[in-house]
Structure 1
């Protein structure tokens, strides 16, 4: 299927893809398999590199390349100690797009552009979009409060048109999207496409444990909570026993749990302690976190890994958007994107009376 007329947007042209659908970079979820499957289906797959070492990232890029010759992106963190080296790696391995979960510095955007990369920044406020656009970003992903993981409090229906009116680069809407109706709605607001996390997590191409996918499918739109108790920064997750326990845990016990998780993550990842400390200092400065919140940030990698990869929904944490309550199946990425585009075409046809 080829995207007709209005459905072939500026985002399609910028990314070199058939359809204006982006699969977001999700830690432990957006692996080489999911990224390649999205790319092969005509969307923009984004490989998550936030929890990968430089060498692991190089291997993952090769794995995507072995599965598809279509454009894809890589999501990196602007606060990683070796971020410049990672950018250089992307530029020399033929990656099309670099996306940043946190707004990158102006010098990092310039380095990406020099490497021939299309730069996409994820933002949660108009002022952030204006800043990165002025610094040279090629597009922004705008996530409303319905979205999963780290998110803000302004709903997509208000934030998206606000950002569209503020910048002249392609704007991708995120938070609450899962079907063709949502794509048409985003285009009506002036967006150039949609980005989805939870919807791609719940596909057969996703590496998430099957039992955990069933937990997601059983949830409603009211079964999520926006909390700072996981890592000190507001994020939307499924309300589970683990999350309820975090909400009840007192300060000293919470910090002890975080310290144990920090040591476990250091052993698992092999990240040198000085690098972890530098990342913590950067997070503290960038987000105005207290030292307690910095220590709490060690919770996230291990809690997510326990649930998503090990299938321990009883002891892990699962990021999700509120849209989880509207999802009831596990299609492949190809089936999902074809369905979205077919539905969007039908909706447009109905609106114009054809």
Structure 2
């Protein structure tokens, strides 16, 4: 199934595995790439040196195209862009709209630039700056999310820009892929569905919590970092929502210190990143401090398996996923389902015309 996405990136199937912090590491990305989809390495929780090592590790596992996801507002975004260029990475994706200068630098080096956006105006902006495609995430998606559902946001963006649009938020099977293509998308991006594969390094006990969840167990809360964050509802999330401001700030500062030690960053850089996060948003400095919770809370669950101490970002599709296929099995299944549906629709259309 060839689309504008497959032609742009060189992958065989119009499927993208999103860059999930602590989850989208070399093993998952290389397995996704080998399956013919576009694997995206999450770099926000890596030091620059670790990012270079991770890119080389993926390269040692597969010769297929893959990408790296960056935080556009990070103080060292320029350094990470240069690593991508030097290591010959095929695709750069961004969690927030990158600057015109970063897009230009990447494109001059032949890197495909695919920012992730959550609003039509953001898609229009990056398209005008030269982005090659956009991933548009509706409110069903995991992690930070907006209020507009994918089925409303996707056609808005498709109509607004003249570059390939990849749909994200609520996709997990071949039916969703066909629906997105019918809306005009060039493919779909999936996070939770790839997290719940046998190639994901997320601990088995954590995967079991996801598989046991219903759609009512997935909630949106601002208690973790001051921004809307979709995740599984747990006792910890309930406790965070009940915590007073002072207690939340103490917890945030403690976790920020832990993240600083783990990532090798400095307080000055963390403050610079906080300023960038605050820019253009109605966030208090208290909320910026709360944002320091997120990397450590996610790491506690996604790496250490401590669901009592960590949070679990989740798209709403967590409530309908029931198994843990390999990436190869998942991609083959999605594409087979999509092919069957397209065939049935074609036959049905022919019958109706007759």
Q: TM-score, normalised by structure 2?
A: 0.97
Per-residue CA deviation, residues 54-90 of structure 1 (Å, 9 max, x unaligned), is: 1000000010001000100000111112211211111
Residue pair 1:74, 1:99 contacting (<8 A) in 2 also: yes
Partner of 2:175: 181
Cα offset for 1:282?
1.0
Cα offset for 1:264?
1.0
1:260 aligns with 2:245: no
Partner of 1:82: 76
Name the CA distance, whole Å, in 2 between partners of 1:286 and 1:320. 26
1:325 aligns with 2:319: yes
Per-residue CA deviation, residues 198-247 of structure 1 (Å, 9 max, x unaligned), is: 00000000010100000000001111111111111111011011111111
Residue pair 1:88, 1:115 contacting (<8 A) in 2 also: no
Residue pair 2:226, 2:291 contacting (<8 A) in 1 also: yes
Partner of 1:44: 38
Partner of 1:35: 29
Aligned length: 348
Residue pair 2:146, 2:228 contacting (<8 A) in 1 also: yes
Give runs of aligned pairs for residues 166-315 of structure 1, distance below 5 A: 166-315=160-309
Q: Secondary structure at the match of 1:222?
A: helix
Residue pair 2:114, 2:133 contacting (<8 A) in 1 also: yes
Structure 1, gaps ≥5 residues long: 1-6
Give runs of aligned pairs for residues 81-160 of structure 1, distance below 5 A: 81-160=75-154
Cα offset for 1:266?
1.0
Per-residue CA deviation, residues 178-201 of structure 1 (Å, 9 max, x unaligned), is: 000000000000000000000000
Name the CA distance, whole Å, in 1 between partners of 2:302 and 2:219. 18
Structure 2, gaps ≥5 residues long: 349-354
Residue pair 2:218, 2:319 contacting (<8 A) in 1 also: no
Name the CA distance, whole Å, in 2 between partners of 1:79 and 1:175. 22
Among candidates 62, 70, 73, match of residue 68 of structure 1:
62
Residue pair 2:71, 2:96 contacting (<8 A) in 1 also: yes
Q: TM-score, normalised by structure 1?
A: 0.97
Name the CA distance, whole Å, in 2 between partners of 1:287 and 1:19. 36
